[in-house]
A = this chain, B = another copy of it.
Amino acid sequence: MTGSPDKLHLEHFVPYRLSVLTNIVSMSIADAYEREFGLTIPQWRVIAVLARYPGLSAIEVAERTAMDKVAVSRAVQGLLAARRLVRSYDAGDRRRSRLRLSSAGQSVYTRVAPLALSYEKKLLDALSPTDRKALDRLVGRLIERAKRLAATSSSL
């Protein structure tokens, strides 16, 4: 058993454990991307999503990366400065930007993506194929549930 059910032990508290796991993983990845490509994680997310969906606006990028629009704005600024992105504006609605990878940005993507997948693979090597599928399913359910709890008012 994992511990007495009604007392709170930090080391068995699921939100704590998720936070610990995510911190280790994110820091490993962030270090590697920064070191190898001068990319922050927000920038990497923007690149990843634009590689797949070229021409998105900043807000659409935000929706697909779970970032807020300020974070996207800053990531985009950095990527524009590094000439890894090109920005135009929508003809019909000049508030909306249209973001695409420059060829330099494409090149970054084709080099980072395998690295990202390789890290994920190494991490998931700790699990059997069955467990990997289970993880995917469980995390999916928890995300849905956590969203609903956060939406349903006070979430206590």
A contacts, CB < 8 Å to B = 2, 6-29, 31-32, 35-36, 45, 48-49, 51-52, 64-66, 113, 115-120, 122-127, 131, 133-136, 138-147, 149-150, 154-156
Interface residues of chain A: helix, strand, loop or mixed (majority): helix
A146 / chain B contacts, CB cutoff of 8 Å: 21, 24-25, 28, 123
Say whether A117 contacts B18, CB under 8 Å: no
Count of identical protomers in the assembly? 2
Closest to A5 in B: B117
* Contact present for B32 and A25 (CB under 8 Å): no
29 residue pairs from A and B, CB less than 8 Å apart:
A2-B136, A6-B117, A7-B113, A8-B117, A10-B48, A11-B64, A13-B48, A14-B139, A15-B120, A16-B66, A17-B136, A17-B143, A18-B21, A18-B22, A19-B26, A21-B143, A21-B146, A23-B66, A24-B147, A28-B146, A28-B149, A35-B154, A36-B156, A115-B156, A126-B142, A126-B144, A126-B145, A135-B138, A138-B138
Q: Across the interface, do A13 and B116 meet the contact criterion of CB distance under 8 Å?
A: yes
**Besides A15-B26, A125-B145, 17 other CB < 8 A contacts?**
A6-B117, A8-B116, A10-B64, A10-B65, A14-B139, A15-B25, A15-B29, A15-B120, A15-B123, A18-B18, A23-B66, A27-B150, A28-B150, A31-B155, A122-B145, A123-B149, A135-B142
